[in-house]
Amino acid sequence: MNVAYLILAHRQPEQLARLVCELQSPSTEIFVHIDAHTDIGPFQRAVGPRAHFTTKRIPIHWGDYSLIKAALVLMEAGLAAPRRCDYLVLISGTDYPLRSVGEIEQFFRENNGTEFIDSVAMPSEAAAKPLSRLTHYKGRPGPVGWWIGKGRKLLEGLGLVPMARDYKKWFGELVPYAGNQWWALTRDACIYIQKFADEHPKFMKFYENTHVPDEMVFQTILANSPFRSKMRRSITYSDWSGGGANPSEIGERHIAMFRANPCMKIDGIYGSGELLFCRKVTDATVSEELAVMIRQRNVGM
């Protein structure tokens, strides 16, 4: 079971290096996209030759379509690798595994063919995925996007442009879905996404002016495809109990929970399933404690 890890990173090069070290095995390939706003040098020095850095780099903005473009860059790199990967796993540079890389590979071997991606039909109040994410026009970052957005608001005020976007004109028969950004998909599913994106530029362009498209595009493509019946919840744990736009950082209380639940499982709006990664890990001490936990777990097996 060959696994390609696709990592989106923009800060904390030393943390990225610890993550890459934890994921290395004879069966893995690691691809990293560094935000074009960021100096790539410290990341390359910290990680060394243990990962492949994408030469194409996208300037990333939170909640923007640029995250889709960066994910597609990583997906292309993973699919083009000389060694054929069976699964491609999208994670961030501040994620960390909850199990050893060997256990993760075994998990994919046992669940081969399953697509791990959070997905619910929109709108979903329970998942906080309103249709306004599609119907509300969002300007792109930068001066050009700002002026286009201002111009649209003016036209809306004059009644020359409808206040709400009619996404159905762009989607056709496709039903919109949404979930969380991180996923683990089979090679075939990724090839399908890649082909769909190439063949449906109108659909993809619509998402350029939506809020947080990285939580909608891949979900909508797969949930309207033959892969729908194979979709299960994602394998990444995030703690949103603190509220706000970002999950809480992993700390001692989380590690205590992980130790008490060696095979972390969750049941919720996206269904039930096992968790193999956690986010956000930003502290070297926390990384070390997680690494020790993984080693102890393997000794006890």
Which two structure tokens, joined as six digits, stand for 102?
């060997």
Number of helical (H) and strand (E) elements in the chain, helices listed first? 12, 14
Contact 80, 54 (CB under 8 A): no
Sheet holding 115-117, edge to edge: 52-53, 28-34, 3-9, 87-92, 183-186, 115-117, 231-232
Task: Write the CA distances from 29 to 24, 51, 81, 83, 92, integer angstroms.
Answer: 8, 7, 8, 8, 15
Angle between helices 252-260 and 284-300 (to 10 degrees): 10
The per-residue pLDDT of the chain, averaged, comes to 92
- Kindly report the CATH class assigned to 3-125+171-300: alpha beta
* Placement of tokens 């074009």 in the chain: 36
Q: Is the dihedral of CA 111, 116, 119, 125 positive or negative?
A: positive
Angle between helices 187-199 and 66-80 (to 10 degrees): 130
Lowest-pLDDT choice from 49-63, 105-119, 155-169, 273-287: 155-169
pLDDT at position 177: 98
Nearest residue to 65 via CA among 11, 140, 9 = 140
Task: Name the residue ranges covered by the structural domains of the chain.
Answer: 3-125+171-300, 132-170
Q: For 238-242, what is the mean pLDDT?
A: 87
Model pLDDT for residues 85-102, shown as the tens digit of each residue: 999 999 999 999 999 999
Q: For 42-48, what is the mean pLDDT?
A: 98
Q: What percent of the chain has pLDDT over 70?
A: 91
Work out the end-to-end distance of the chain between its first and last CA atoms, rounded to an integer number of angstroms.
21
pLDDT(60) > 90: yes
Q: How many residues does the chain have?
A: 301
Residue type, 42: P
pLDDT(144) > 90: no
Greatest alpha-carbon pair distance for the chain in Å reads 69
DSSP reduced 3-state for 38:
coil
pLDDT(216) > 70: yes
pLDDT at position 75: 98
Angle between helices 13-23 and 284-300 (to 10 degrees): 10
- CA dist 119 and 64 (Å) reads 19
Nearest residue to 144 via CA among 58, 217, 209, 69 = 209
Rg (the chain; Cα; Å):
20
What does 136-148 look like in DSSP terms, one character per residue? S--PPSSHHHHHH
pLDDT(163) > 90: no
Contact 279, 94 (CB under 8 A): yes
Nearest residue to 230 via CA among 107, 128, 109, 119 = 119
- CA dist 285 and 276 (Å) reads 20
pLDDT at position 296: 87
Q: How many CA atoms lie within 13 A of 54 on its CB side?
A: 26
pLDDT band at 164 (very low <50, low <70, confident <90, very high): confident
